A and B are shown apart, each in its own frame.
Chain A
Amino acid sequence: MAKKILIVDDSESIRLVVGTALRAEGYEVIVGNDGQHALDLLLESGGVNLIVSDLNMPILDGISFLKEVRKLDKYKYLPFLILTTESQESKKMEAKQSGATGWIIKPFVKEKLIAVVKKVIS
Chain B
Amino acid sequence: MKAEFSNEQAGGETKSFLSFKLDNENFTIPVMKIMEILEVPKITKVPQAPNFLVGVINLRGAVLPVIDTRVKFSMSPIEYTINTCILVLSIEVNDEVIEVGALVDSVSEVFELNEARILPSPTIATKYRADYIKGMIQEDDHFLMVLDIDKVFSSNDLESISEYKEEKLDETQD
- Contact flag (A, B; Cβ within 8 A): no
